[in-house]
Amino acid sequence: MTDTEEQLVVDFPLRKPGEVFPPPRYEEYRHREGLVLSYLPDGKPVWLVTRHAAVREILTSKKISSNPDRPGFPNIGETMGVPRQDQIPGWFVGLDPPEHDRFRKALIPEFTVRRIRDMRPQIQDVVTRVVDGLLADGNRSADLINDFALPIPSLVISALLGVPKADREFFESRTRTLVNIRQSTDAQRDLASRELLRYINRLLEIKAKWPGDDLPSRLLQGGVLAPQELTGVLLLLLIAGHETTANNIGLGIVTLLENPQWIGDDRVVEELLRLHSVADLVSLRVAVEDVEICGQVIKAGEGIVPLVAAANHDDGVFACPHMFNPERSAKQHVAFGYGVHQCLGQNLVRVEMELAYRTLFERIPGLSLAAGPDGLPFKYDGVLHGLHELPVRW
Amino acid sequence: MRITVTTGTCVGAGQCVLSAPDVFDQDDNGVVEVLDAEPGPAQAEQVRLAGQLCPSGSIAVTE
Ligand code: HEM
């Protein structure tokens, strides 16, 4: 920071009703030297990071931790999204190397580019059945969040976890209750999360006795992770891969309806991930040692919030960042984070998004928003950017 | 152009395989595998991109 510029202190960037996303404030923060200081809802100071290079630096620094049990780790609020599950062993997104490595190494064979490519027919099958469901009642209208975007990732994760077909409805309804903070109460979400945990434990017992050709069976047989760790791993996969994917699918549909010339072109996927950056407040960190980023010394124990939506709209990396331009090279985006925690499910998401858009617009070509884009109910009350509902007709 | 990879730090994100499928693969453990350590100019741009995108800094490209 230069002497002439004073430290900028700002409100914590919770999304506000009526404000576009990412908020124009991010641009202002990015053009300041140094970092921006903010205060969390609990009053603790936290550094906001908005530049693309600085976000990547934070997410790869060995002096910075992902562990929520460390003092100073940013707590962005009780009401934000899913219940905190830090106590569950196997919640490895909150572990640092070297503990994190054991989990990550055990899981990556399940998410390779080739493995996901082999899953394409299964994913297509899920998408096809969900679209069949949209068309079945003859109403020619639907809410594409609840009837399309949420069921797809949930059913895909069910398939990945080897959940028997007969149980997928149960699984889907409980995960939906967990995610849908507007249509469910705290008590309902609490119950749903306990039911899911119980279900996952039972599933692991069944897979231990009667192994199948699925992720839990292979991990049990691999023996690297203990069964109680696998409970946390499966829950993490379920939660990490559900609302994130659904929000992206939903927001992407709106963007494609506004830019119909791009419908049918698979290049849209990477650009939609960049543009919408739904996981803006996901990668939270705390400094373990003093570390200098952008000329600012972050002291050990101070919280850090790398804002991936700000980084993905950094005009030094992405020209005219607010424009939807699938022809640009969007791959440098950090929508899946960066560093050792970079999203494990990213290759799965890419296929889900591609097949979801292709199938939806092929089968329902006359799709349009039931109301104007201005009235869409954006989420302001959770961690992730997205829509509560997406009413359409055809 | 020469590629060296550090398999020990690879986190299996698969970015290299998506960027340069003729040059990188993932082995049965999901870890990076180099199919062609000295790729020709036709591959140069994809390989550089793979190096930039690798989230764990496991790919080094020397020109
Ligand atoms: C568009 C959809 C998705 C987005 C935007 C997204 C975003 C992210 C981000 C930003 C991280 C990094 C968190 C951090 O740095 O602390 C992450 C990690 C993770 N994601 Fe995703 N994700 C998506 C879908 C999925 C899916 C479908 C799955 C699995 C089925 C998944 C599983 C995971 C797991 C297990 C981690 C933790 C990885 C680790 O700690 O090594 N995600 N995701």
List pLDDT tens digits, range A257-272: 999 999 999 999 999 9
ipTM > 0.95 for the complex: yes
> Tens digit of pLDDT for each residue in A96-149?
999 999 999 999 999 999 999 999 999 999 999 999 999 999 999 999 999 999
- List of chain B residues whose C-beta atoms are within 8 Å of the C-beta of residue A339: 55-56
Residues B26, A331: C-beta atoms closer than 8 Å: no
Written as one letter, the residue type at A233 is V
Joined together, the tokens standing for residue B58 give 């496991």
Is pTM beyond 0.90? Reply is: yes
Cα distances (angstroms) measured from residue A389 to each of A148, A165, A183, A246, A260: 11, 27, 11, 11, 21
Residues A108, B57: C-beta atoms closer than 8 Å: no
Closest CA–CA distance from residue B19 to any residue of chain A (Å)? 9
Q: Which of A73, A244, A251, A379 to mutate to test the pocket of ligand 1 (most atoms within 8 A of CB)?
A: A244
Q: Which of A113, A224, A270, A333 to mutate to test the interface with B (most CBs of B within 10 A)?
A: A113
Cβ pair A85, A232 in contact under 8 A: yes
pLDDT score recorded for residue A78: 53
Cβ pair A193, A179 in contact under 8 A: no
> Tens digit of pLDDT for each residue in A29-59?
999 888 999 998 888 999 999 999 999 999 9
Determine whether the shortest distance from the Cβ of A386 to ligand 1 is under 6 A: no
Q: Determine what percent of chain A is predicted with pLDDT higher than 70.
A: 96
Nearest CA to ligand 1 atom 3: A244
Nearest CB partner across the interface for A112, out of B14, B49, B57: B14
* Arithmetic mean of pLDDT over chain A: 92
When divided into structural domains, chain A yields a total of 1
Strand ranges in chain B using DSSP code E only, listed in sequence order:
2-5, 24-26, 32-34, 59-62
Cβ pair A176, A150 in contact under 8 A: yes
Nearest CB partner across the interface for B11, out of A108, A109, A113: A108
> Tens digit of pLDDT for each residue in B24-53?
999 999 999 999 999 999 999 999 999 999
- List of chain B residues whose C-beta atoms are within 8 Å of the C-beta of residue A111: 12, 14, 30
Closest CA–CA distance from residue A334 to any residue of chain B (Å)? 10
Closest CA–CA distance from residue A366 to any residue of chain B (Å)? 33
Determine whether the shortest distance from the Cβ of A240 to ligand 1 is under 6 A: yes
- In B, what residues contact A, Cβ < 8 A? 11-15, 17-19, 26, 28-31, 49, 52-53, 55-57
Closest CA–CA distance from residue A333 to any residue of chain B (Å)? 9
Residues A109, B55: C-beta atoms closer than 8 Å: no
- List of chain A residues whose C-beta atoms are within 8 Å of the C-beta of residue B11: 104, 108, 340, 342
Distance (angstroms) between ligand 1 centre and the Cα of A172 equals 19
Determine whether the shortest distance from the Cβ of A353 to ligand 1 is under 6 A: no
Minimum CA–CA partner of A109 in chain B: B30
Q: Look at residue A193 and tell me whether its pLDDT is greater than 90.
A: no
- Three-class secondary structure of residue A287 per DSSP: strand
Cβ pair A70, A275 in contact under 8 A: no
Residue whose entry in the numeric block shows the structure tokens 């109403």: A139
Q: Which domain holds residue A222?
A: 4-393
Nearest CA to ligand 1 atom 41: A341
- A83 falls in which pLDDT band (50, 70, 90)? very low
Q: Which CATH number fits the domain that encloses residue A163?
A: 1.10.630.10
pLDDT score recorded for residue A84: 47
Closest alpha carbon to A193 in A216, A210, A212, A176? A176
Tell me what the mean pLDDT of segment A363-375 comes to: 90
- A159 falls in which pLDDT band (50, 70, 90)? very high
Determine whether the shortest distance from the Cβ of A262 to ligand 1 is under 6 A: no
> Tens digit of pLDDT for each residue in A286-328?
999 999 999 999 999 999 999 999 999 999 999 999 999 999 9
